[in-house]
């Protein structure tokens, strides 16, 4: 495709015809409060109820956000015919047992990332969804973050030619206190944070041949236990080299969160707005250079939307579109997500054994 100037980049989520599917939350913690609910309200989705192990928490969230019904148990939620989609937002070690019940009820579901805290249970989650014949999507909403979405369309349209180098580099001070339950996990940065970047890089460039990863901790990171600084390299058969480098304890330097995708005919440079001020964030930025525009011409379209909440519309809209048209979610099926998890768990294997790993080694 040839672009003519000026042009607008297509990056906003596309909604299907039917967006009034009844949604009920299983888990009403932080991410549901500050991301899912604002996103769904903005998009005009139909939230019908919620359930949380901590009933008081569910009641409080329902009262604050005008959610009509609070269920006393998951069984009660699943028995409600108004619920067509269960939006699961519980810690990863809880997700499999929730999915077992949701699949048995025949309802569709949006699962949280990571699908599980080990690869075998993630496979079980996917198998349960397939066996039940329900639509099962994963909430990897960075695929709908404006800078990534715009890059996806631009790369597919050939604006940078053949991709040769890709980098996501983040150096910031992450407010880990927002997730007290993460303090004790032995695997932190890649499994809970860089998983977004690795998934987005797969979305843009496909599956790598090799994963090489190095992990470290910061001197003053207590009580946080897991790795907080990581460097991961992915090598592709085409010669494409991908770097994902993340430091969550930059206490002094200016924070930065950048992406750069370079090809034989152009480049896309951008910033990930969310990571400058989590969770408020700011819109992403993007700068495009291409043979199509001539050397030295830089195109800087304005991206208006925020990762939180706007990208959260995309994951749910994709699930709804899959239900409406009876196919697997195009951009966020849980089955595809197993390949992201092969990279994630491959990164841990690489760091533990000081070697490069093929994602297919993860079983």
Ligand X SMILES: NC(=O)c1ccc[n+]([C@@H]2O[C@H](COP(=O)([O-])OP(=O)(O)OC[C@H]3O[C@@H](n4cnc5c(N)ncnc54)[C@H](O)[C@@H]3O)[C@@H](O)[C@H]2O)c1
Looking at 9, 23, 26, 323, which residue binds ligand X (CB under 6 A)? Answer: 26
Looking at 16, 22, 29, 301, which residue binds ligand X (CB under 6 A)? Answer: 29
With contact defined as beta carbons under 8 Å apart, do 307 and 320 qualify?
A: no
Peptide bond into 135 cis (omega under 30): no
Range list of H helices, 17-145: 30-31, 37-43, 55-65, 74-79, 92-105, 119-132
- Least separation in angstroms between residue 344's CB and ligand X is 13
269 binding ligand X? (CB under 6 A): no
The enclosing H or E element of 334 equals helix 334-353
282 vs 280: CA distance, rounded Å: 7
Peptide bond into 309 cis (omega under 30): yes
Q: At 250, list the tokens.
A: 């930059």
297 vs 275: CA distance, rounded Å: 28
Site mask for ligand X (CB under 6 A), range 66-95, x = bound = -----------------------xxxx-x-
- Least separation in angstroms between residue 204's CB and ligand X is 18
Instruction: Give the range of 30-38, 115-123, 220-228, 247-255 binding ligand X by CB under 6 A.
Output: 30-38
Helix (H, G, I), strand (E, B) or coil at 125: helix
Contacts of 132 (CB under 8 A, 6+ apart): 103, 104, 106
279 binding ligand X? (CB under 6 A): no
197 vs 257: CA distance, rounded Å: 11
Nearer Cβ to ligand X (67/357): 67
Strand partners for 247 = 171, 229
Site mask for ligand X (CB under 6 A), range 139-178, x = bound = x-x-------------------------------------
Nearer Cβ to ligand X (22/91): 91
- Least separation in angstroms between residue 46's CB and ligand X is 21
Q: Give the number of other CB atoms < 10 A from CB of residue 32.
A: 28
96 vs 98: CA distance, rounded Å: 5
Residues in 207-236 at the binding interface with ligand X, rule: CB under 6 A: none
Q: Give the torsion sign (CA, 332, 338, 343, 344).
A: positive
Instruction: Give the range of 23-31, 164-172, 281-289, 320-328 binding ligand X by CB under 6 A.
Output: 23-31
Nearer Cβ to ligand X (64/361): 64
- Least separation in angstroms between residue 98's CB and ligand X is 6
Nearer Cβ to ligand X (32/299): 32
Nearer Cβ to ligand X (87/321): 87
With contact defined as beta carbons under 8 Å apart, do 93 and 116 qualify?
A: yes
**HSE-up of residue 355 (Cα within 13 Å, Cβ side):** 6
Map tokens 């595809």 to a residue: 336
Instruction: Give the range of 49-57, 102-110, 245-253, 259-267 binding ligand X by CB under 6 A.
Output: 49-57
Size of site (CB under 6 A) for ligand X:
24
- Least separation in angstroms between residue 159's CB and ligand X is 28
Residues in 85-144 at the binding interface with ligand X, rule: CB under 6 A: 89-92, 94, 98, 112-113, 139, 141
Closest residue to ligand X, judged by C-beta, is: 29
Q: Which residues bind ligand X (CB under 6 A)?
A: 26-32, 52-54, 57, 89-92, 94, 98, 112-113, 139, 141, 179, 181, 192
């Amino acid at each position: 495709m040839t672009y003519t100037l000026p042009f607008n980049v297509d990056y906003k989520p596309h909604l299907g015809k039917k967006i009034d599917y009844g949604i009920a939350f299983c888990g009403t913690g932080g991410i549901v409060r500050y991301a899912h609910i604002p996103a769904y309200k903005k998009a005009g989705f139909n939230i019908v109820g919620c359930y949380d192990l901590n009933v008081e928490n569910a009641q409080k969230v329902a009262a604050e956000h005008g959610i009509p019904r609070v269920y006393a148990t998951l069984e009660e939620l699943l028995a409600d015919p108004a619920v067509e989609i269960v939006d699961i937002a519980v810690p990863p070690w809880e997700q499999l047992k929730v999915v077992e019940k949701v699949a048995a009820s025949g309802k569709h579901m949006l699962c949280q990332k990571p699908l599980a805290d080990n690869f075998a249970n993630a496979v079980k989650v996917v198998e349960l969804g397939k066996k039940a014949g329900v639509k099962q999507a994963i909430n990897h909403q960075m695929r709908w973050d404006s800078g990534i979405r715009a890059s996806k369309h631009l790369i597919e349209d050939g604006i940078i030619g053949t991709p040769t180098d890709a980098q996501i580099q983040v150096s910031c001070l992450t407010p880990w206190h927002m997730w007290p339950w993460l303090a004790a996990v032995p695997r932190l940065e890649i499994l809970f944070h860089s998983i977004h970047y690795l998934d987005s890089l797969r979305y843009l460039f496909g599956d790598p041949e090799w994963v090489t990863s190095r992990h470290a901790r910061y001197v003053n990171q207590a009580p946080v236990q897991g790795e907080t600084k990581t460097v991961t390299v992915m090598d592709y058969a085409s010669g494409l080299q991908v770097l994902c480098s993340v430091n969550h304890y930059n206490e002094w330097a200016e924070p930065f969160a950048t992406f750069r995708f370079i090809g034989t005919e152009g480049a896309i440079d951008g910033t990930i707005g969310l990571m400058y001020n989590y969770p408020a964030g700011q819109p992403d930025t993007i700068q495009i250079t291409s043979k199509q525009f001539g050397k030295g011409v830089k195109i800087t379209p304005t991206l208006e939307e925020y990762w939180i909440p706007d990208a959260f519309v995309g994951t749910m809209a994709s699930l709804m579109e899959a239900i409406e048209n009876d196919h697997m979610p195009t951009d966020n099926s849980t089955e595809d997500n197993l390949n992201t998890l092969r990279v994630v768990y491959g990164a841990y294997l690489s760091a533990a054994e000081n070697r490069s790993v093929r994602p297919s080694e993860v079983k």
